[in-house]
Amino acid sequence: MNIIVFGCGRVGSELAYRLYRHGHQVTVIDQTASAFSNLHPDFRGRKVEGELLSEEILHRAGIQEADAVAAVTNSDSFNVVVAHLARTTYRISRVVARNFDPRWLPLHEAFGLQVVSSSLWAAEQTEYLLCDLPWRSVLSAGVGEVQIYLLTVPSAWQGRALTDLIPGGEALPVALVRKGWATLPGQGTQLEAGDLLYLSTTSQGLELLKRSFNTERGE
């Protein structure tokens, strides 16, 4: 694919090199020439310096022929604008925007963009490891409306069936890992303490699941 990466900071330079290594035609745009020093020495894609929203720079980067765009600068407002521009003006279907500050995430959501929120993800994963939380998000779809969570089954759920614990229609079991082996669980599957259960649910469904989880633990 012909891919344009906006921003050559730590994220953009790493993304550009990974895409280049996998055989894609990559162009990196940054308004600061020194930013290109972040690129791996083996990177052989194109580098375009200039104002990121300049029509001249966009055309020099080949946006009219691009198959995909990644806006990964540390400016959330810019990432939203360039992603929206790529989709609406240049009709590029594969567009991903980086969310740098979680407080700006609603702006990304308002434009219906595919978003990667590295700060939010890192905070969630660190919280999980520090606090030994029973729930951990492992996959986010869309802009986070539906997520897949990993749950370590507690001893209080030993022998219980999924149908007794999952609110109807609010969550779907995706996979169950027991002693290293994964299976596709059904609603009647009986759980064992220590099982790793993957569940797909919404934020509303997650709250119901947490309520059920805490009730079973007597909290």
Residue range 134-169, pLDDT digits in tens: 677 788 776 667 888 888 888 888 888 887 777 666
Give pLDDT, residue 10: 93
Select the more confidently predicted residue: 168 or 198.
198
Number of domains forming the structure of the chain: 2
| DSSP state for residue 190 in the 8-state scheme | B
For residues 140 and 197, the model is more confident at 197
8, 36 Cβ separation under 8 angstroms = yes
Answer with the one of 117, 145, 177 that is the final residue of a domain.
117
pLDDT band at 216 (very low <50, low <70, confident <90, very high): low
Is there a single domain that holds both residue 97 and residue 148?
Answer: no
Q: Are residues 150 and 107 in the same domain?
A: no
Residue 19 covered by a domain: yes
pLDDT digits (tens, 9 = 90+) for 22-41: 999 999 999 999 999 999 99
Residues 109 and 157 in one domain: no
pLDDT bin (cut points 50, 70, 90) of residue 133 is low
Give the model's pLDDT for residue 93.
92
16 and 42 assigned to the same domain? yes
The pLDDT of residue 132: 62
Share of the chain above pLDDT 90, in %: 48
Q: What is the pLDDT of residue 82?
A: 95
Q: Which of 65, 110, 60, 117 is nearest to 86 (CA)?
A: 65
Mean pLDDT, the chain, rounded, equals: 87
Q: What is the CATH number of the domain that holds 192?
A: 3.30.70.1450
pTM > 0.75: yes or no: no
Residue type present at position 115: V
Across 42-70, b (16+ Cβ under 10 Å) vs e yields ebebebbbeebeeeebbeebebeebebbb
pLDDT, residue 129, reads: 63
pLDDT of residue 72: 95
Q: Which domain holds residue 67?
A: 2-117
